């Protein structure tokens, strides 16, 4: 199991340091394949919370804290709904959800431009922020991947890349923490089948290593290249997660 999980955390963290997204897209399918749907999403939430916190410490000066607050408060709507969904959904179905959401993220990232009428999220209106924030919360708690909603939001609002990439780090951190809290509150965490505590230690170590490696690489590798690499890895994992979910439902 570790041969798949820990390298995915390392690569995902490096790619997120370069482009702003990557951890959830890469690790969610790997965790879903290795640990099953529910525990896989749980550990993905842990990983995105840890990586988001550490990246926030490095990029906090560039973060738009006002937008962070608006997105995360809106995300609570989707988070609560999603936690209930996770509680009543079989693991095989969650594997299908994880794979499908990651593939959706690939489509979003590959779709190119999109509308960019407002010059920044502040001019987009409260309704737009609420909609995409709630969608991000729902996707994060059910699949561990809020990136599709956040990427579309950045394109709709014309959010500047450097500020967007920095602001996503506390957003992903907060969504990870609130997802874990919501699922624990409704009894959606399978404590009996939780992986060994050493796996959590390994995940934290890989995040730190990924940040150390990703910081110098961010000055040399274009964000577009990092996103392409994330898509290739995420796509392969998503297909396997979907196939495993289908086999679980059929068998």
pLDDT band at 113 (very low <50, low <70, confident <90, very high): low
Query: CA-CA distance, 90 to 245, in Å (whole number)?
Result: 10
Average pLDDT (36-65) is 90
For the chain, helix, strand, coil in percent to 5 are: 85, 0, 15
Supply the DSSP string of 11-78, one letter for each residue.
Answer: HHHHHHHHHS--HHHHHHHHHHHHH-HHHHHHHHHHHHHHHHHHHHHHHGGG--HHHHHHHHHHHHHH
Query: CA-CA distance, 214 to 235, in Å (whole number)?
Result: 21
- Residue with the larger pLDDT of the pair 37 and 129: 129
pLDDT tens sequence across 212-242: 999 899 888 887 788 777 777 778 878 888 8
In percent, the amount of the chain with pLDDT more than 90 equals 33
pLDDT at position 147 is 86
pLDDT at position 116 is 55
CA angle 31/36/40 to nearest 5° reads 40
pLDDT at position 74 is 97
Query: CA-CA distance, 170 to 102, in Å (whole number)?
Result: 21
pLDDT tens sequence across 170-209: 999 999 999 999 999 998 876 646 667 787 888 889 999 9
- Residue with the larger pLDDT of the pair 134 and 158: 134
pLDDT at position 192 is 47
pLDDT tens sequence across 136-157: 999 999 989 898 888 888 888 8
Query: CA-CA distance, 38 to 44, in Å (whole number)?
Result: 10
The pTM (predicted TM-score) of the whole model is 0.86
pLDDT at position 228 is 77
């Amino acid at each position: 199991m570790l041969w798949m999980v820990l390298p995915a955390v390392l690569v995902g963290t490096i790619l997120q340091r370069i482009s702003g997204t990557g951890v959830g897209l890469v690790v969610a399918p790997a965790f879903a394949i290795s640990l099953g749907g529910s525990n896989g999403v749980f550990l993905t939430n842990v990983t995105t919370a840890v990586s988001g916190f550490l990246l926030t410490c490095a990029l906090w000066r560039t973060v738009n804290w006002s937008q962070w607050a608006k997105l995360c408060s809106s995300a609570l709507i989707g988070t609560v709904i999603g936690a209930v969904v996770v509680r009543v959904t079989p693991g095989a179905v969650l594997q299908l959800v994880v794979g499908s959401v990651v593939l959706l993220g690939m489509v979003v990232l590959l779709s190119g431009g999109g509308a960019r009428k407002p010059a920044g999220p502040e001019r987009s209106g409260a309704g737009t922020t609420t909609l995409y924030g709630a969608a991000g919360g729902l996707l994060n708690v059910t699949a561990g991947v809020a990136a599709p909603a956040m990427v579309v939001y950045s394109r709709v609002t014309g959010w500047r890349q450097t500020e967007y990439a920095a602001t996503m780090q506390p957003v992903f951190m907060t969504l990870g923490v609130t997802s874990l809290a919501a699922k624990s509150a409704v009894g959606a965490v399978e404590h009996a089948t939780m992986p060994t505590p050493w796996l959590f230690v390994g995940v934290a170590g890989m995040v730190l290593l990924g940040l150390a490696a990703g910081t110098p690489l961010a000055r040399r590798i274009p964000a577009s290249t990092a996103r392409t690499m994330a898509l290739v890895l995420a796509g392969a994992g998503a297909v396997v997660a979907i196939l495993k979910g289908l086999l679980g439902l059929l068998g």
